[in-house]
Structures are given as structure tokens and as C-alpha cells.
Amino acid sequence: MKRYHVTTFGCQMNEHDSERMKGMLETLGYGEAPDPDDADLLLFNTCSIRESADSRFVAHLGHAKRRKRENPDVLIGVGGCWAQSVKDEVFQRFPFVDVAFGPGQIHKLAEFLTSDSLTAQGYFEFEDFPAQLPTKRAKDLHAWVQISVGCNQRCSYCIVPSTRGRESSRPFDVIVDEVRRQAADGVREITLLGQNVNAYGRDLRVGGKASPRTFAELLHAVDAVDGIERIRYTSPHPQDMKEDVILAHRDLESVCPHIHLPLQSGSSRILKAMRRTYNRERYLDRVAMIREHVPDTAITTDIIVGFPGETEEDFEQTLQVCEEVGYDGAFTFIFSPRRGTEAAGMTEGLVPHPVKVERMERLVEVVQRRAHDRAQRFVGRTIDVHVEGPSRTDPSRLRGRSPHNKVVNFTGVATPGEIVPVEILAATSQTLAGEASLLATATAR
Ligand code: 5AD
Ligand code: SF4
């Protein structure tokens, strides 16, 4: 039997695409090789979101090159966003690559593997919603559910619209049917995936006629599926975070109390240059609406420091928003110019690297201090924790995730996949610590 090994970089969308690659390869008769040294097919599912993502991947390719030199029959495939962003240049830069394909072009990989093609092939055209593919799920009780592909936003820093194409929603009933099948298969937690999930459904057509649906309607339909206990989604855009979605968090038991609301910058001037389509006030209005309807819900965010033109004053406004909102967590990034994006062509007000680094340090201080404050509200509560495995820092303890998406390390006996009540005894900015509570029933979701 031929064996494959997939290395995945980037976001959850890529993790899901990798599961679909594996599912497809297994239907072609391949088996998984846990060690890349044993594989006949080495696949890389790449990311291009930031410079660091590019360079991590290039470092990995050295190993593939060595394998190919030792055994020319080993096939090397490069898929995903980085491949899409450089297209056929993949073959010039890395002549040992046999097949390259863009995100969502997994079926083309099958076409390549089942053809007699002896020459390297690249597949980079955009398509509508890719055909249904079998999936090999990494965790039995959790499933990713892709609800749309592509993105119609034009954030000036972002490479995604050019790597993943125009937005296209997957038909409503097809998604709900997939969730029903997964639930019947034992799945209890799902994550709805899209580049801009809450723009879902506007483009849907039935029999050639416009037949729009909303993301909130989808949340209701998925909540109604028997057996699904937790629903998460990523990523939404603040512009489309409407009241109906926030009310779904309040009214639907399975929708987790966590909203990721990417800020990017707290300065309206920079937000405009980023083409984010909201300003500081509109963003803070969204936060106020969330706090009004679902005050306990965790809010997390993404922030970029050092965007071209960002002054000390602009940056201080970002710090102020972080102080004011008090995020439960934030992903913070140093701006890096991405090929072909509008921001990569900006030449004025470029922020020197040491200034970017210094701003990043100040930002992380505020984010962590506020996250630490916010996390104290969990101490003393008993929370349902979805067990993932042993704790990373102390293997005698267990690790899981709370409905608020906090990592929880705890003592107790439980198997991965189980949902157990844990009494929270301490909280830092990143994690909660507790004890499995044998008698208590969870008092908070
Ligand atoms: N530079 C730095 N960070 C970026 N992100 C996207 N593009 C860039 C870039 N060019 C960040 C944004 C986005 C997250 C996934 O990555 O914050 O929300
Ligand atoms: Fe995901 Fe964006 Fe990276 Fe593509 S470029 S893998 S969409 S994070």
C-alpha cells in the first residue's frame, strides 16, 4: 500500500482541507504514514497569511528535497494558499515538486494521482463550491463544516481574496444534511468555517432565482440537529455581526458563548486605510450589543501593529480599545506586506521594525492584563469541559476546552471526547486550572 504524509500550515480552513485530502487519499487506497520518512507521497498544505507562515513552510521543504534525492519515486505535492499566491513559480523555485494546487483544489490532486502524467502539474483556477469529498476527521467528536469559500472583502493587507477567490455559499440544506450525518456518526461539536462566515447565504440561488438565507438562520437549523451540543464558527467580520447572530448566542443552547471579533486597529484612520468598512465607533457599538445581550460571552480579536502610516497616536487608540473592551484573548500580528495586496504597495509612513516590535510588546502587556482580569470571573464556577487529552505542561493532568474556548488544565479521570464538569480554581490570561468535579453538575455552560 502507498502511504502519504500531510503537513498543514495556517488556519482551521487549511486543517479542514487537509482532513479532506486525507479522506480522498484513503479512498484512492493510500494509507497514512505518521512519519514523513516512511511516506511515498509528501504533501504540504501551505499558508501565506504572513511572512512567518511562508518561511516556516520553505524550511520544511528541505526535508522533502532530500527524500526525493534519495528516492525519485517519492511524490511531492504543495497545496494551499502559498502555492496559489506564487502559482507556477512553485516549480521554478522548487524543481523537485511534482504537483501544486490552490486551496479547495483537492480533487485535482486526485486527478493527478490517478492520471499517467509524468510531468509536473499545477492547478490554480478558482471554482465554485468544491464537490463533496470524504473527510478523515482528526478528532472523532468534533467536525469542521465548511459553509462558504472565498471572500468578497478587500482588506488592503490581506492575501486571502487573491488565494481563495470570490465568496460562494454552500447550499443551506446541504450543510444541514452534512451536520445530521455527522451527528449520527457521533459528532457532538462542530465548527462552521468560512473566510467571512456571517456574510453567509446572501448569494444563494435556487433554480436560477435569488434565494438568500442568513447566518443566524443557519445557526438555528444546526442547533436543531439532535446530538450537536456545541457550535462554534470562524471567522466573522464585525461589519456583518448583526443582532440576529448575537441573539442566537443568547437563545440557542448549543451556540458557544464565544465571539471572535477581529479589530485589526483601534484607529478609524488606519481602519479606513485597511478598508475594514467599519470605524472605531461602529466596532465598539457591536461590542456594546454583545455585552448587552450576552454579557458573559468571551470576546477575542485579531490586531495588526505597524500597518503603513500607523502613528504613535493611532497605536494608542488601539491600546485604548483593548483597555475598554477587555478581550478574553487576542492574536497579535506584526504587519508584513503580502504579494499583490494594496498595502504591499504603500510607501508612506512605513513603520520601522524596532518600532513595530516595541508597539507589539506594549500591546501584549495590555491584552494579557485585561484577559487575566476577565478570566477571574470563571474562578469558583463549575464548567463543562470538552476533554482533548493530557495537559501539555503536566501529563498527569488533563487538558480540555471550555464553552468560552478557554484551555482548561485539570486533575481527574476522563477520556478524550468526553464532556466533564470541572470546578475552576485558578485563572491566568491564557488558561484555567481546576479539578474534575465528580458530584457537581455544571452550573455554567
Ligand atoms: N500582516 C500581518 N497580519 C496579517 N493578518 C492578515 N494579513 C496580515 C498581514 N499582511 C492577520 C489579521 C487576520 C489574521 C488571520 O492575520 O489580523 O485577522
Ligand atoms: Fe488560511 Fe489565510 Fe493562511 Fe490561506 S492564507 S491558509 S486562508 S490563514
Distances in whole angstroms, Cα of residue 376 to Cα of each of 257, 290, 333:
16, 20, 26
Of 179, 146, 6, nearest to 80 by C-alpha is 6
The pTM for the full model equals 0.90
Q: Averaged over 412-438, what is the pLDDT?
A: 93
Nearest-angstrom CA–CA distance, 153 and 275: 8
pLDDT band at 115 (very low <50, low <70, confident <90, very high): confident
Cell of 43: 504533501
Give the least confident one: 65-69, 117-121, 144-148, 264-268: 117-121
Confidence of residue 111 (pLDDT cuts 50, 70, 90): confident
Q: Backbone phi, then psi, for 384, in 5-degree steps?
A: -75, 120
CA distance 230 to 203: 27
**Which pLDDT band, with edges at 50, 70 and 90, does 121 fall under?**
confident
Q: What is the pLDDT of residue 444?
A: 42
Contact 429, 375 (CB under 8 A): yes
- What was the pLDDT predicted at 350? 97
Q: Is the CB of 64 under 6 A from ligand 2?
A: no
Q: What confidence score (pLDDT) does residue 128 get?
A: 62
Q: Which atom of ligand 2 is nearest to the CA of 81?
A: 4
Sign of CA dihedral 332, 84, 342, 57: positive
- Residue 323's CB: how many other CB atoms inside 10 A? 13
Q: What's the rounded Cα separation, in Å, for the pair 328 and 216?
A: 23
Report the nearest-CA residue for atom 12 of ligand 1.
302
Domains, the chain, in order of start with CATH, read: 3-123 (3.40.50.12160), 137-256 (3.30.750.210), 260-374 (3.30.750.200), 379-436 (2.40.50.140)
Residue of 124, 123, 61 lying closest to 96 (CA atoms): 61
8 Å CB contact between 164 and 116: no
What is the tens place of the pLDDT at every residue in 156-211?
999 998 888 899 999 999 999 999 999 999 999 999 999 999 999 999 998 899 99
Q: What is the pLDDT of residue 118?
A: 67
**pLDDT in the model for residue 129:** 63
Helices 280-293 and 243-251, packing angle to 10 deg:
20
200 close to 194: Cβ distance less than 8 angstroms: yes
Tell me the three-class secondary structure of the chain, residue by residue. Answer: CCEEEEEECCCHHHHHHHHHHHHHHHHCCCEECCCHHHCCEEEEEECCCCHHHHHHHHHHHHHHHHHHHHCCCCEEEEEEHHHHHHCCHHHHHCCCCCEEECCCCHHHHHHHHHCCCCCCEEECCCCCCCCCCCCCCCCCCEEEEECEECCCCCCCCCCHHHHHCCCEECCHHHHHHHHHHHHHCCCCEEEEECCCHHHCCCCCEECCEECCCCHHHHHHHHHCCCCCCEEEEECCCHHHCCHHHHHHHHHCCCECCEEECCCECCCHHHHHHCCCCCCHHHHHHHHHHHHHHCCCCEEEEEEEECCCCCCHHHHHHHHHHHHHHCCCEEEEEECCCCCCCCHHHCCCCCCCHHHHHHHHHHHHHHHHHHHHHHHHHHCCCEEEEEEEEECCCCCCCEEEECCCCCEEEEECCCCCCCEEEEEEEEECCCEEEEEECCCCCCCEC
Q: What number is the average pLDDT over the span 66-78? A: 94
Q: Which atom of ligand 2 is nearest to the CA of 14?
A: 6
pLDDT of 321 over the 90 cut: yes
For 418-431, what is the mean pLDDT? Answer: 95
Strands 189-193, 142-146: pairing kind: parallel
Question: What is the atom index within ligand 2 of the atom nearest the CA of 48?
Answer: 5
For residues 126 and 132, give the distance between their C-alpha atoms in angstroms, rounded to a whole number.
16
pLDDT at 49 over 50: yes
Residue nearest to atom 1 of ligand 2 (CA): 11
pLDDT value for 354: 97
Question: What average pLDDT does this structure show over 395-412?
Answer: 96
Q: Ligand 2 center to residue 170 CA distance, Å? A: 19
Q: Please report which confidence band the pLDDT of residue 440 belongs to, taking 50, 70 and 90 as the band edges.
A: very low
The residue nearest atom 16 of ligand 1, judged by CA position, is 49
What is the phi/psi pair of residue 71, to 5°? Answer: -145, 100
Residue 293 to residue 297: CA distance in whole angstroms:
9
* 73: phi then psi, degrees, rounded to nearest 5: -75, -15
Does ligand 1 lie within 6 Å of residue 96's CB atom?
Answer: no
Give pLDDT, residue 389.
92
Grid cell, residue 442, equals 455544571
The dihedral built from the CA positions of residue 265, 270, 274 and 279, taken in this order, carries a sign that is positive
Residue 138 — pLDDT band, cuts 50, 70, 90? confident
Q: Compute the distance from residue 333 Cα to the ligand 1 centre, in Å.
A: 6
Ligand 1 centroid–CA 54 distance in Å is 13
